[in-house]
Amino acid sequence: MSNFAKTFSSSLGKKLVMALTGIFLCTFLIVHLVGNLQLFKDDAGQAFNAYAYFMTHFGPIKIVSYLLYASIIIHAVYALLLTAANKKARPVAYAVQKGGQNSPWSSRNMGILGTILLIFIVVHMGDFWWKYHNAELPYAKYEISLENPNDLPKVSELPYDANRLVHSDIVDVQAGKQIVVSKDLYKIVNNAFQTWWYVLLYVVAMAALSFHLIHGFKSAFQTIGWNNSNLVPIIRFLGVWVFGVLIPLAFAAMPLYFFFFK
């Protein structure tokens, strides 16, 4: 076995792989959140549908998406390998200090939190990613006034047509309007978020994401050696308040917004 293979098959190597894939997944969360915030626009889904098309048809983004899928799988597999190795090396749990646990709750339950997230990702991608690529979705036709582009677009639904472009954008100067036709993923999101158990699953998953990131974000940077006294406060702030609180809350707000207000 080569030194490279030995390094990444060791416990430290597995932790390094988990740290790097975890940090990559954190960067994806930011991009995904920025795109999904289009759901809050009062435009009948025009901005969100345009975002969905861009994310699935722009070449560099498509390449990054394959890296994302690989990172999710690798992160999950290495987590299982590390958990199994830790249990094998320590079949009897460490003694618990009097008056409490030795480590934070999130640290002791990363496996449970990760399992919840993995189940959610599979369900989430099946309901949205798979349907966008494979299901016979209707199309939304948006008519936007060129004279008053800030006015709400006139929206109509078009039936599925295998010969229709996934996204088209035509400016009709003579008629004074811009016509945008998009595969209507917004409608699928809206319908999904009218189901109480799906909304509950989404919110629970975001709570799991919060605890997972509060511990995992800091641990990832410790693993790669970014743990000097100047960086630790910044990493702790980002891990707790940005990735552990702000981002999960923003994601959880989306299904709640649709369920209660749409």
Report how many domains make up the chain: 2
For the record, the structure tokens of 72 come out as 């999710």
Q: What is the mean pLDDT of residues 131-150?
A: 93
Mark whether 68 and 154 lie in a shared domain: no
**pLDDT tens sequence across 69-89:** 999 999 999 888 887 877 777
Residue 58 pLDDT exceeds 50: yes
Task: Provide the CATH number for the domain around residue 195.
Answer: 1.20.1300.10
- pLDDT confidence of 250, banded at 50, 70, 90? very high
Mark whether 125 and 146 lie in a shared domain: no
Q: What is the mean pLDDT of residues 40-67?
A: 92
- pLDDT confidence of 119, banded at 50, 70, 90? very high
CB 224 within 8 A of CB 19: yes
Mark whether 80 and 172 lie in a shared domain: no
- pLDDT confidence of 14, banded at 50, 70, 90? confident
At residue 62, the pLDDT reads 84
Mark whether 30 and 64 lie in a shared domain: yes
**pLDDT, greater one: 121 or 102:** 121
Could you list the residue range(s) of the whole structural domain that residue 163 is in? 138-183
Specify the pTM. Answer: 0.88
Residues 6+ positions from 175 with CB-CB distance below 8 Å: none
Mark whether 77 and 205 lie in a shared domain: yes
Mark whether 72 and 168 lie in a shared domain: no
Mark whether 27 and 115 lie in a shared domain: yes
CB 77 within 8 A of CB 218: no
Mark whether 100 and 22 lie in a shared domain: yes
Residues 6+ positions from 196 with CB-CB distance below 8 Å: 259
Q: What is the mean pLDDT of residues 32-58?
A: 94
Mark whether 13 and 99 lie in a shared domain: yes
Mark whether 168 and 255 lie in a shared domain: no
Mark whether 232 and 148 lie in a shared domain: no
Of 31, 261, 248, 22, the residue nearest 120 (C-alpha) = 248
Q: What is the mean pLDDT of residues 103-122?
A: 83
